[in-house]
A and B are shown apart, each in its own frame.
Chain A
Amino acid sequence: SQQGEEDPQALSIQEGENATMNCSYKTSINNLQWYRQNSGRGLVHLILIRSNEREKHSGRLRVTLDTSKKSSSLLITASRAADTASYFCAPAGNTPLVFGKGTRLSVIA
């Protein structure tokens, strides 16, 4: 199985600022997914970007994918205190979708 590696491990920003999290992976993928986790409960799917897409938007979320660099980024614009959570990327290729350690985002009001 392949897991993504999120960077940074932790990020602290002020409310209203943008938050950028990065993900790197090692082998070819069919798609890459981002998830959010609040308070140690189950993960919630945020967005899926396919390997033939370079950018995707969903509300205040913007995801980019660079398959040549085997990397993706998640941008949260105009962050809110409610965005405080851990964020995980999951590259989906020829092996089961698994998760890494995540980025812990803290948005300070």
Chain B
Amino acid sequence: GAGVSQSPSNKVTEKGKDVELRCDPISGHTALYWYRQRLGQGLEFLIYFQGNSAPDKSGLPSDRFSAERTGESVSTLTIQRTQQEDSAVYLCASSLSDQETQYFGPGTRLLVL
């Protein structure tokens, strides 16, 4: 079936605006992850959803960041009042369970001017 998809592919926004990034996981995958990757850096864990359990939000850098997931389907990562340091590639991944192989989407490249 289809892999993980993310939209938009690229987003340019002005400082102070809110943005929403979308992730469509592989059907049947109960676990969903969001990561941030700044240019030339490693992955930075943001948030993790597993089934109906409360999400692990331990990686969110500030209260401007939030994410939701509807059941075991689509997830939306929202960044409010964007700052220039939010510029990065935002990657989403899903897996059958939290111990198994993660499948990554192509990412959303966010540029905050």
A residues lining the B interface (CB < 8 Å): 1, 3, 30-31, 33, 35, 40-45, 48, 86, 88, 90, 92, 96-102
Decide if B21 is an interface residue (CB 8 Å cutoff): no
Give the contact-size bracket for chain B: 20 to 34
Contact A1 B103 (CB under 8 A): no
Beta-carbon nearest neighbor of B46 in chain A: A98
Contact A92 B99 (CB under 8 A): yes
Decide if B106 is an interface residue (CB 8 Å cutoff): yes
B residues lining the A interface (CB < 8 Å): 4, 31, 33, 35, 37, 39, 41-43, 45, 48, 50, 56, 58-59, 89, 91, 93, 95, 98-107
CB of A32 to closest CB in B, whole Å: 11
Contact B42 A100 (CB under 8 A): yes
Beta-carbon nearest neighbor of B88 in chain A: A40
Task: Knowing A45-B101, A45-B102, A45-B103 are in contact, say whether A96-B50 is a contact too (CB < 8 A).
Answer: yes
